[in-house]
Each structure stands twice: as structure tokens, then as C-alpha cells.
Structure 1
Amino acid sequence: MELVSLVRLEGVAKHVILPDDTRLDILRGIDLEIAAGDHVAIVGRSGSGKSTLLNLMGMLDAPSEGSVAFRGEPVRRMRKARLDRLRGRNVGFVFQQFNLLAGRSALENVMMPLGYARGREFWTRRTAATRMLERVGLGHRIESTPEQLSGGEQQRVAIARALVRRPALILADEPTGALDVETGASVMSLLDEIASEADAALVTITHDLNVAARARRHYRLDAGVLTAFALDLPANAAAADASGLAASVDDGTDPEPAAEAEPVEVAS
């Protein structure tokens, strides 16, 4: 029996018109299919379109050309309210800069995606958020604000917020970029573990080859073109140059024209 893809991009292109009326092509002819339980890594240098691609997969943006489908249904045909509900229920976003609400406790931050849930999910949101914080090892920090947390703790709160509704698709944009190596490895292990438990698809946008090596499938995004490649790093990958692949990847952040994604609230 053929499995229905979770998210499918066909012939997707994205471009913007610059102030001088010239066209900037960000993505060109992207074909990509992600199924439940999949783990995909996408690597590329700054400005290659990685974050723009993630925004399209997460239905935060629409392509200039081509189509995006979620569970076989074209996204472009959906009304905004329905699309917001679909995204909020099924997609969890983990960002490099955490995007936590300043002055709000860890518990309040994790409860946020449940604020517009319905029925039992709404009324039990505090319990669900507390359990997810415990799951990421922060049960003792639920009343702490982002300003009182370390970088690794803030990222764990961000992961708890992204996963509190048990999404089918987890999109992580440079999730370890603001962390030290040891903390980053711990965060990725946590993401892998929770995604595996829920049979969720995990897509990681990264410049870090060690992070990419955790995925089952690997893609390189270069000049807006996505191509599959085999990444087989040795155990001491941190010291390896990955056979020249590092030349196509750097450790900057994407200065792309696409708007930065903010934490998504679910429309009622």
C-alpha cells in the first residue's frame, strides 16, 4: 500500500521583486516529499534559500510557482482560517533564536500554542505544557522567564512549545546555531527522540554537518536549487572536512528576503 506523503512540494519556485524592479529568484523548481517518521536535513550556504524553503514547507508562505500539498491536499485551495488551524495543529517550528516571549514564564510560553485549542485540549493546556517541560528536563524551571534561562534551556523551552500539540511535522531552522557544541548535541538528541516517539517527520535546516548527519536523507540547497546527496561522516566528523562539502556550507545566518517566521498561534 502506497503511503500518502505528509508534505509534498512540486515545481516550487519563489521570487521577489526588488526596489529597482529587478527579480530575485530565491528558489527554483523544488521537488521534495516528506513522509511521516522521515528525518531530512537540508544544508546550504547563507542566502541559499534554506529558511524560505522551510517557511513554504510550514505553510507560512506561498510559492510564486508550483504547488505545496499537505496530506495530499493542495494548500493554495485552503481558506486562511483553515490553513491557520491546520498549521497550528500539525506543524511545530523550532527556531535558532528561540522566539520566546520575554517576561513570560517557561510554562506560559509552552502553553501559547494551546491558547486557541478546543475542548479538552484547551482545558488541560496547563497540564500538557507542564508535562512537556518535564519531558525536556525543565520541570523545575516552569516559572522561570527566558531572561533567567541559559541558551540551552531556552532552546528546550522552544522545543517544548513546538511539540506540545504533538505535531506531525517538526521544522527546525538552525536549532543549534546559538548553542555550544555539547548543548547543541543534547538538543538534537532530544528532538530526534521525541520525533521518533511520535512518528513525526523532522526537517532540519542547518549549516552544521554533524547535525545533518543525524538525518536519514540529505539535501544541498545551492543558488535556489535542491539536490540530494549522500552524507557519510566518520565518527570524528567534527574534525573532518566532509570531502569538500564544507565549502558549500558556512556558519552564517540566512539574509534572505523572506520574512522571519514568528511563533504561530492557532486561529479559532
Structure 2
Amino acid sequence: MSLVSLDSISKSVLLADDSRLEILRGISLDVDAGDHVSIVGRSGSGKSTLLNILGMLDAPTEGSVSFEGTPVRKMSSGRLDRLRGANVGFVFQQFNLLAGRTAIDNVMMPLSHASGRLFWKRRELAADMLERVGLGHRIDQIADRLSGGEQQRVAIARALVRNPMLILADEPTGALDIDTGASVMELLDEVATQTGAALVTITHDLHVAARARRHYRLEAGRLAPVDLSRAFEASTLAAGVPSEATA
């Protein structure tokens, strides 16, 4: 049984002139526990919309979403909120941190409605996760006073602190330098491997995408498997750098 399954998903929005903008068209995708999937595509291709549907933040116009075999549309809003909060960790491109609150406050936030050990140990767990992303010395800094790269790492720590079953990362290295970005992706891989979580990464960076085991391209609203070796060659040639085959 798949952890999360999309069946013939389409998404459209109604524009001011009463026409419809088709964002996603007939997408089917199964993500299993332990999967690492990457989805590449141009800006505006609908990658973030697809991620929000995978994470049950948004509903498709057509098609169905299932989590561990249960159709999401049959769940009450309260049950869906609880399921998402306990099992899905989001790394948003815009960070979505709580302004005026410290780094550790932000990372503790997903644990504020937990029970048992997760609740009573929430500060310790949050501090440990901030240490793992290299911000152990910044736990009491106000989040909006951190650099963009530091804010991204706080967002990643917040997504991972509950050891979710499904990790959804939207351009997780977009605000980071190359070395920090590589260490962050290693952390995401490490946590997913240790906990058996599925990791879905939305990115335009082929090097980030290549870390996954399954690769897809989203184009014109349609999702299809992609051969990253060919994508790398195409991007290399476009940049005017000879590939090994042409050098």
C-alpha cells in the first residue's frame, strides 16, 4: 500500500474573465514509505501546487488523493488536520516562520499540540534539531533577524522535528550556498532514511534532484518520468560547457 497516492489529479482555477487556468492535468503518482522522489520543472509549472496537494493542504479539482489507502475527501477537516500535523513535514520555499518569535519557538511549534513525550520534551527536541542543522548557537535569535539561509534551516528543522512519515520540500536549498545546501540535503536524506519517511523534493536544481531515486518532470501541467543524465547534458550544452561526450 502506498503512503500517499494521487489518482488522475487535475487542478484548475477560475480567472476574473470566467475562463479557467489549467495548472495540473491528469497526474497519477504513488509515493511509498522510504521513497525519495524529485520533481523538476520551470518556475510557474505548478510544482508548488502539486506539493500542496500531496501534503493535503489543497484539494484537486478532479481526481482523488489517498493517504495509507484512505481517500482524503472522506475525512473530516479535523481528522485531516490531525493527520497532516502528525505525519507530514513541510519545508516551504517562503519559510513561513512566525515573525517576532525565536528560532526554537518556531521549531517547537509543530509539537505544541502533541501528546506525551513529544509535548513534554518539545524544547529539548527542538534544540537538538536546530543543532543538527547547524544553528545550535542561534536558538534564541528572533527568526526574522536571521539570514535567509538561516531561516531556511529553521524551516527544515521545524519540518523534521516530529519525524514525519512524509517530508515535502519546496526548493529546500534555494536560499543556501552550495556547501550549506549540500549539508541540508544530506540531513534530509539522513532523517528520511533513519525514520523510513518518504521524501518528495520540488526543485529546479538538477544536482538536488539527482539525489532522489525517482525523478519526474512537470511540464504543461503533466508529470512524466525524466532521465536526469540527459537533462544534465542538455543543461551543460545550453550553458556552452562541453560534456564528456562532446569534449
Q: Same fold, TM exceeding 0.5? A: yes
Match of 1:259 in 2: none
CA RMSD of aligned residues (A): 1.8
Match of 1:242 in 2: 232
Give the letter aligned to residue 188 of structure 2.
L
Match of 1:238 in 2: none
Secondary structure of 2:5's partner?
A: strand
Asked whether 1:209 is paired with 2:206, we answer: yes
1:208-227 paired onto structure 2 within 5 Å: 208-227=205-224
* 1:160-180 Cα distance to aligned partner (Å, 9 max, x none): 100111100000001111222
Decide which moves more: 131-140 or 200-209.
Answer: 131-140
How far apart are 1:138 and its partner, in Å? 2.1
Aligned pair in 2 of structure 1 residues 224, 103: CA closer, same or farther (>3 Å)? same
How far apart are 1:245 and its partner, in Å? 5.7
How far apart are 1:195 and its partner, in Å? 1.4
Match of 2:140 in 1: 143
Asked whether 1:161 is paired with 2:151, we answer: no
Asked whether 1:191 is paired with 2:181, we answer: no
* 1:20-44 Cα distance to aligned partner (Å, 9 max, x none): 0001111010010001111100011
How far apart are 1:194 and its partner, in Å? 1.5
Secondary structure of 1:232's partner?
A: helix
How far apart are 1:247 and its partner, in Å? 9.9
How far apart are 1:65 and its partner, in Å? 0.5
Q: How far apart are the structure 2 equivalents of 1:124 and 1:7? A: 29
Q: RCO greater where, 1 or 2, for CA within 8 Å and sep 6 or more?
A: 1
| Contact 1:13–1:65 under 8 Å retained in 2 | yes
Q: How far apart are the structure 2 equivalents of 1:246 and 1:224? A: 25
> Runs in 1 of length 4+ with deviation above 6 angstroms?
none
Asked whether 1:77 is paired with 2:67, we answer: no
Q: How far apart are the structure 2 equivalents of 1:98 and 1:194? A: 19
TM-score (norm 2): 0.91
Give the letter aligned to residue 182 of structure 2.
A
Percent of aligned pairs with the same amino acid: 70
Structure 1: give runs of 5+ residues left out of the alignment: 234-240, 249-268
Q: How far apart are the structure 2 equivalents of 1:205 and 1:14? A: 17
Structure 2: give runs of 5+ residues left out of the alignment: 239-247
Aligned pair in 2 of structure 1 residues 245, 69: CA closer, same or farther (>3 Å)? farther
Q: How far apart are the structure 1 equivalents of 2:237 and 2:84? A: 35
Q: How far apart are the structure 1 equivalents of 2:120 and 2:182? A: 35
Asked whether 1:175 is paired with 2:172, we answer: yes
Aligned pair in 2 of structure 1 residues 98, 246: CA closer, same or farther (>3 Å)? farther
Give the letter aligned to residue 118 of structure 1.
S
Match of 1:258 in 2: none
Match of 1:94 in 2: 91
Q: How many residues align?
A: 238
